[in-house]
Chain A
Amino acid sequence: MADLLLNLLLSFDATLRVATPLVFCAMAGLFSERSGVIDISLEGKMLAAAFAAASMAAVSGSAWLALGTGILVSICLALLHGFACITHRGDQVVSGVAINILVSGLTVVLGIAWFARGGQTPSVGPEARFTPITLPGAEALADVPVIGALYSELISGHNLLVYVAFAMVPLTWWVVYRTRFGLRLRAVGENPNAVDTAGISVARLRYTAVLCDGVLCGFAGTYLSIAQNAAFVREMTAGQGYIALAALIFGKWRPVPAMLACLMFGFLDAVAIRLQGVEVPVIGPIPVQLIQALPYVLTVVLLAGFIGRAVAPKAIGTPYVKER
């Protein structure tokens, strides 16, 4: 029994670590998509930020400088996306695909040119990473039954960016639902004409939204390369940007449900390895691939309207043309 509990606790612990980049990216996508700009380039921005942060960490040895670089690079790509979709009214999906493909090539090209390690960046030491923090009192409480284990195993002992990610969820909620900017953001994604009529610049609002998106993807990438790992590995995002997008849709473009979806997908990922070869009555052994594909399958089923209905912001995907 205690063994099972500990196993479960460790799974939850792993879930938090796996879900962190998903949460960052889902919140990033939320800003952009709520303003009416489809963002399938979460993956690309995260990958670019991961590479930039790892490179900077390797060169400078400073985790904070690395974080700044990661965010900066991600912002540049977000602005490129904005430049294509908002200023030039290009196709938002095409622009996103372009960024994803561009980054997946460029990170390897630059990685090999700069570090000559087959696309990897050199591993950095703990001083250039975000390392686990022990929260105050975790040691003292460790022996207290239930609460102690929960606090010291599950809540304490993550790196700073994990806490930042989960703090972003209420922050995003507050910005989107409780501020003037948030009201306008939601309005511009539903009915940009109305926002324009009220004398507010649609383009500026959408640019602000993709900017927020860029910052958050920068955090996600930095987390991957210098918090969860100690170096950049080619294609290290491995589709997590798309999973975050799926989680965002699963959460129906709302912060808390999106976070819960991230946690669910993270949990699936965390238990996939543990469940390998486990026999389930009737079905037999569960294929790991099934669990890995489950986030995608669930999202498709949701989108098909079989479990509730995911309705996207109304003006999503359509560039705004001011009447002449």
Chain B
Amino acid sequence: MSTAPVKIPRWVDVGLIPVINIALAFLVSGVILFAIDVHPLEAVEIILYGAFGYDEALGYTLYYTTNFVFTGLAVAVAFHASLFNIGGEGQAYIGGLGVGLGILALDPYLPFIVILPLAILLSAAFGAAWAAIPAYLQAYRGSHIVITTIMFNFIAAALMVYLMVNVLIQPGSMSPESREFAEAGHLPFMHEVFGWFGVKVTPSPLNLSVVWAAICCLLVWVFIWHTRWGYEIRTVGANETAAVYAGIDPKKVIMLAMCVSGALAGFVGINEVMGVHHRLLLNFTAGYGFTGIAVALMGRNHPVGIVLASLLFGMLYQGGAELAFEEPKVTREMVVTIQGLVILFSGALAYMMKGPVERTYVRIVGMTQRPAAQEG
């Protein structure tokens, strides 16, 4: 077509193409379900009911969502500095360790109101510290952040097994778990919170950390788009050479972005250790750090997108459990599969649909003869 070049409006790039990519991921997931003799539409129905149909389910969905918001934000902040933090899993693990150690040391002496801010601080500090080492090695020693964060996930796992089995285990206990925290170290469940106001809600693991997750979204939005640090992070992410000319030190920015990222991942520990299990145990991160990658890619590194993507994955986790219960042929791992497909289509193959979609758009605009730039 030899018409004048048509400007592609922003909503095609920001809205349409991501939606198409996610649709493709779900289409392939549907094909997989179909291949194992499960009717995809029925599966969707079960998942939706299982995730939102009654208040306990909704509680579980939001509880998963909370974790994904933390890890999604963590991955996103690093992405803004064009760093790929695969270490969310390890940082969340160590963040939880920080929470647990703090509460185990303090809960006989201090009231809840003092322990809570300390626990938040400790989870952030431990998570940030675990991210700071790979960040330092990337910034000052030239090693690749992806490789080092992967290695740190494994090191974190080994460290936690050692600590739980040899040091923190409750004497006389068979399973590697610490003693249960005293009441002062429990973050209230949402059903308890509702109970204070006389509203009866079915118990679920959903706890107050969901509020903290919402606050974090807001803080990250302010941090990335309305502070100097955020500006520096985005500049380094967009063009490191230009950043240097603008007087920004990329090394410091790498450290900053990764520490914030690690701190956010560490908050998973608040939800899991302080909010749900009330003790230190193994494997409480359960792959949430990796889901954060899918969440950040799907939410295009923006808090609003991350909340939506987290809700979707929260729904898939909870509804997927329900589906596994209803349909013996389906297991929870189907959700992991979908997660992989989402990362594939909205991450690795993000540009695949760009050309075709833009060409189609140009053709449609050309046919309807409308001035193209009006929506831009």
Contact = CB atoms under 8 A, between A and B. Distances in A.
A278 interface: no
A297 B143 contact: no
Interface string A231-270: 0000000010010011001000000000000000000000
B158 A84 contact: no
Contacts of B36: 109-110, 113-114
A289 B347 contact: no
B349 A88 contact: yes
B264 interface: no
A104 B338 CA distance: 11
B325 to A, nearest CB: 14
B335 interface: yes
Contacts of A84: 344, 348-349, 352
Contact of B159 (A98, A106, A108, A293): A293
A61 interface: no
Contacts of B94: none
A105 interface: yes
B365 interface: no
B347 A94 contact: yes
Contacts of A290: 158, 162
Interface stretch (A63-71, A161-169, A185-193, A298-306): A298-306
A189 to B, nearest CB: 15
Contact of B150 (A40, A89, A113, A297): A40
Contacts of B350: 90
A267 to B, nearest CB: 18
A91 interface: yes
Contacts of B150: 40, 242, 245
A290 B161 CA distance: 10
Contacts of B334: 105, 109
Interface string A37-63: 010100000000000000000000000
B32 A109 contact: yes
Interface in B143-201: 143-144, 146-148, 150-152, 154-155, 158-159, 161-162, 165-166
B142 interface: yes
A105 B151 contact: no
Main secondary structure on chain B at its contact with chain A?
A: helix
Report whether over half of chain A's contact residues are helix, strand or loop; otherwise say mixed.
helix
A313 interface: no
Given A90-B350, A289-B162, A97 B343 contact: yes
A208 interface: no
Interface residues on B, range: 35 or more
Interface residues of A, number: 49
B115 interface: no
Contacts of A300: 133, 137, 143, 148, 151-152, 155
B340 interface: yes
Interface in A66-117: 80, 83-85, 88-91, 93-95, 97-106, 108-110, 112-114
B84 interface: yes
A111 to B, nearest CB: 9
A210 to B, nearest CB: 13
A292 interface: yes
B336 A105 contact: yes
B143 A304 contact: yes
A90 B347 contact: yes
A267 B267 CA distance: 37
A287 B159 CA distance: 10
Contact of B351 (A88, A102, A289): A88
A296 interface: yes
A38 B348 CA distance: 13
Contacts of A14: none
Contacts of B143: 300, 303-305, 310
A108 B331 contact: yes
Given A91-B347, A300-B148, A304-B137, A113 B329 contact: yes
B276 interface: no
A91 B86 CA distance: 14
Interface in A292-324: 292-293, 296-297, 299-300, 303-305, 310, 312
Contact of B166 (A94, A100, A287, A310): A287
B155 A296 contact: yes
Contacts of A109: 32, 36, 330-331, 333-334, 337
A84 B345 CA distance: 9
A218 interface: no
B147 A299 contact: yes
A293 B163 CA distance: 14
B162 A94 contact: no
A287 B162 CA distance: 7
A106 B340 contact: yes
B340 A299 contact: no
Contact of B339 (A93, A105, A113, A287): A105
Contacts of A182: none
A119 interface: yes
A25 to B, nearest CB: 14
A312 B144 CA distance: 9
Nearest to A92: B348
Contacts of A85: 348
A287 B155 CA distance: 13
Nearest to A43: B150
Contacts of B155: 293, 296-297, 300
A106 B32 contact: yes
A159 B225 CA distance: 59
Interface string B58-95: 00000000000000000000000000101000000000
A105 B340 contact: yes
A265 to B, nearest CB: 12
Contacts of B119: none
Contacts of B348: 84-85, 88, 90-91, 94-95, 98
Given A101-B339, A300-B137, A300-B155, 13 more contacts: A84-B344, A89-B351, A90-B348, A93-B86, A98-B343, A101-B290, A112-B329, A113-B36, A113-B37, A289-B162, A293-B155, A299-B147, A304-B143
9 contacts: A97-B343, A98-B341, A101-B336, A108-B331, A112-B329, A119-B331, A289-B165, A296-B151, A304-B137
Q: Closest 4 interchain pairs by CB?
A: A102-B340, A105-B336, A105-B337, A303-B143
